[in-house]
């Protein structure tokens, strides 16, 4: 088991040498970089979507039973497509507060770039989910991140609990992983992955810039899920290589491949193409996943 203790100052082991880096999260917390344990490889893309649907509804119902509300965080990309086919059962939507794991700093009605606009178009309006923490719609990433954190901080702890370190604890956080291992807008080779105290940060890597929840926030969710499914002529195995690096390569570090920092806290769900570079991983049916 590879453990990196992240406390005040820590050490990352990268390609044979040790370098001093800022801690990723507040002490005491050991970042487990051994292979992920909670990995599911299901037969089809539809199975993965159905599994995520089940997780969302189960998490919502459990949270509402416990505290009367459901705090959900979502990214953009393929997760929006997965959620677009979910038809909510019961009334959990009316008791849901939704935040974004990351979002470009653009007007909220920009259907070409704004995750919020896309989510409204694809499912939020149909669901009737209106309690959404949105950006102010400016191009100023740092101001948007500060404002977004302030909006999250204004949510009562009865709805969005805080842990002992003062970080928010979402009931469920759905997280996307890019081919380069980025999670939210935390990209490899950049300082944002090391942020240890803020809830949200501005990322000025691309134009337009974006905001992102920080790694400590993603890690502290009661439940976090990464799903990868689907393929194309260009990518016949989907994101298989990236998923293998994310869950199994014990030599990679969060600085090189941020998604590996989620191994110890996340449920990973892939279809067969996206799990194809993990032949030793056990396969399961959707029914087996739902029954576990």
CATH code, domain with 207: 3.40.50.1360
CA geometry: angle at 115 spanning 100 and 275, to 5°?
80
Of 83, 98, 93, 86, nearest in space to 61 by CA = 93
Q: Report the distance separating Cα 134 and Cα 205, nearest Å.
A: 21
Owning domain of residue 95: 47-235
Please state the domain count of the chain. Answer: 1
Q: 285 lies in a domain? A: no
User: Residues with Cβ < 8 Å from 291, sequence gap 6 or more?
Assistant: none
pLDDT 10s digits, 29-62: 457 789 999 999 999 999 999 999 999 999 999 9
Q: 57 lies in a domain? A: yes
Q: Report the distance separating Cα 201 and Cα 195, nearest Å.
A: 8
Q: Are 24 and 261 in contact (CB under 8 A)?
A: yes
Q: 252 lies in a domain? A: no
**Beta strand 17-22 with 9-14: parallel, antiparallel or unpaired?**
antiparallel
Q: 249 lies in a domain? A: no
Q: 226 lies in a domain? A: yes
Q: 41 lies in a domain? A: no
Q: What is the pTM of this model?
A: 0.89
State the CB neighbour count (10 A cutoff) for residue 168. 25
pLDDT 10s digits, 172-231: 999 999 999 999 999 999 999 999 999 999 999 999 999 999 999 999 999 999 999 998
CA-to-CA separations, 125 to 117, 121, 253, in angstroms, rounded: 10, 7, 39
């Amino acid at each position: 088991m590879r453990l990196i203790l992240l406390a005040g100052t820590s050490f990352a082991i990268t390609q044979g040498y040790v370098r001093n880096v800022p801690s990723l999260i507040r002490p005491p917390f050991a970042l487990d970089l051994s292979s992920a344990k909670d990995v599911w490889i299901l037969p089809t893309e539809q199975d993965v979507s159905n599994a995520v649907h089940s997780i969302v509804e189960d998490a919502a119902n459990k949270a509402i039973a416990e505290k009367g509300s459901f705090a959900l965080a979502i990214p953009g990309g393929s997760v929006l497509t997965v959620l677009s086919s979910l038809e909510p059962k019961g009334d959990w939507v009316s008791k849901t507060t939704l935040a974004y794991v990351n979002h470009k700093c653009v007007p909220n009605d920009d259907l070409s770039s704004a995750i919020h606009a896309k989510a409204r178009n694809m499912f939020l309006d149909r669901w009737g989910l209106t309690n959404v923490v949105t950006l102010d719609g400016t191009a100023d990433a740092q101001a948007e991140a500060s404002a977004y954190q302030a909006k999250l901080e204004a949510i009562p702890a009865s709805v969005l609990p805080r842990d002992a370190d003062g970080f928010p604890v979402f009931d469920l956080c759905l997280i996307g992983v890019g081919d380069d291992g980025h999670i939210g807008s935390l990209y490899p080779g950049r300082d944002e992955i090391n942020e240890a105290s803020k809830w949200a940060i501005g990322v000025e890597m691309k134009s337009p810039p974006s905001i992102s929840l920080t790694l400590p926030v993603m890690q502290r969710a009661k439940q976090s899920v990464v799903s990868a499914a689907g393929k194309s002529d260009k990518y016949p195995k989907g994101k298989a290589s990236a998923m293998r690096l994310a869950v199994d390569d014990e030599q990679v570090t969060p600085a090189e491949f941020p998604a590996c920092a989620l191994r110890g806290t996340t449920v990973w769900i892939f279809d067969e193409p996206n799990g194809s570079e993990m032949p030793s991983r056990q396969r399961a049916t959707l029914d087996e996943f739902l029954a576990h």
